[in-house]
Amino acid sequence: MQTYLVGGAVRDKLLHLPVNDRDWVVVGATPEKMLNKGFRPIGKDFPVFLHPETKEEYALARKERKTGRGYKGFIFHTSPNVTLEEDLQRRDLTINAIAEDKNGVIIDPYGGLEDLKEKILRHVSPAFVEDPLRVLRISRFAASLGFKIAPETMVLLKSISESDELKFLAPERVWTELEKALSGKYPARFILALQSCGALKKLFPEVQALFGIPQTKKFHPEIDTGLHPIMSLNQSTRLSNDPMVRFAVLVHDLGKGTTPKDKLPSHHGHEERGAKIIAKLCERYRIPNKYRDLAMNVSKFHLDCHRIQEMKPETVLKKLEQLDAFRRTKRFEQFLIACEADAKGRAGFENREYPQAEYFQKAFKAASEVISLTLQKQGLKGKALGQEIKNKRIENIKHMSTHHP
């Protein structure tokens, strides 16, 4: 019975990245042997055990065979005779098929070390195509590691996308991979990888619909509407590591994909149209409400944020109220970051200042200084109290705007 550290833990260790979870493979053991050593069984589909002390997961070496649709359509075979190489062969990428023994010796039967060095995402075996989830996983690795997808692996990804396997992916799994990709260092590469292999149009047709749609060159020198969210995503990585902000940036212009052709390159009304599309997208993939609500706010009000310095104090207060800024302060701050990423996500605008965010933030702070309790002590209540709070907030915003540099 031999144990090996495998998968992402070995990969990240070799890349000098933080190792969060450690997974182990046990060769030459049976479930009975594991139980006798105090391991606790937790696996439903195949024998996985928790270490009695570290509580880390130890799986018996196994082989697998495709028997049905989707990423769950597999049967597994475990035996003391299954070798480490056979277990590693079923893994998706060579960089994830590296093991380390108890003495720190690296076992690399499929060339993972070389691919780590060259920053290449390459499949281990032709069986790669049997799991449709790998389309998302490999695209996510491109986003988190910044590695390139090997041409021969891209061929297999296209093969999966052209089949009907993607429709068998559970909505939650699609969202999980998207959220992880948005948390990565290069989130835009996730979208570009999906587009390159033909999966974007099947999984996120709302995003694919943006590519090839023109917009006004004066405001968007890049012209192609599909390039803008990619550029904005790249900008968002400079401003925040918050996946909620990045999701909002990705989807903020989805309404432009539904603009009638006879109205192009103008996209009047895309803000509200986009918010409705976002709501349906979030429902389809069961995306958390906090992501949905921020994204819908950015879709509906990003142009207002860009023009905030031109608005009257009364209008500025109205926008703060529509954004629910006084109750959802953090979401308002996230909104400002997303709007800045949007403004800078245009050809030639990448390094321009975005004073609107500071102005809007100062307006919010000025309005927030109005304390209802103080007014209540003056005997105000009901509608009179509400109106006085509004008047004072407008007055404070006006005072701020006249003193704002």
What's the CATH code of the domain at 68?
3.30.460.10
The total number of structural domains in the chain stands at: 2
The answer to whether the predicted template modeling score (pTM) of the entire model surpasses 0.75 is yes
Are 24 and 57 in contact by the 8 Å Cβ rule? The answer is yes
Q: What is the percent of the chain with per-residue pLDDT over 70, rounded to a whole number? A: 93
Tokens of 70: 């989707």
Q: What is the DSSP string of 183-252?
A: TSS-HHHHHHHHHHHT-HHHH-HHHHTTTT-B--TTT-TT-BTTHHHHHHHHHHHHH---HHHHHHHHHT
Q: How many CA within 13 A on the CB side of residue 110?
A: 24
Domain boundary among 183, 203, 223: 203
Domain boundary among 93, 118, 143: 118
Interval 125-139: pLDDT, tens: 998 998 999 999 999
* 32 and 83 housed in the same domain: yes
Interval 233-270: pLDDT, tens: 999 999 999 999 999 999 999 999 999 999 999 999 99
* 167 and 85 housed in the same domain: no
Asked if the model's pLDDT at residue 53 lies above 60, the reply is: yes
Whether 104 is in a domain gets the answer yes
Q: What is the percent of the chain with per-residue pLDDT over 90, rounded to a whole number? A: 82
Asked if the model's pLDDT at residue 67 lies above 70, the reply is: no
For residue 39, give its domain range. 1-118
* 86 and 145 housed in the same domain: no
Whether 183 is in a domain gets the answer yes
Q: What long-range pairs does 348-353 form, CB within 8 A, spacing at least 24?
A: 348/221, 349/221, 350/231, 350/235
What's the CATH code of the domain at 192?
1.10.110.30
State whether residue 93 is helix, strand or coil.
strand
Q: What is the largest CA-CA distance in the chain?
A: 84
Interval 163-199: pLDDT, tens: 989 999 999 999 999 999 999 999 999 999 999 999 9
Vertex 240 angle, CA 299 and 306, to 5°: 40
Q: What long-range pairs does 257-263 form, CB within 8 A, spacing at least 24?
A: 257/206, 257/209, 257/210, 257/213, 257/225, 258/209, 259/213
From the centroid of its chain, how far is CA 305?
24
Domain boundary among 67, 88, 118: 118
Asked if the model's pLDDT at residue 17 lies above 80, the reply is: yes
* 87 and 188 housed in the same domain: no
Whether 266 is in a domain gets the answer no
Interval 345-387: pLDDT, tens: 999 999 999 999 999 999 999 999 887 656 555 666 667 777 8
Interval 269-292: pLDDT, tens: 999 999 999 999 999 999 999 999
pLDDT at 374 (0 to 100): 62
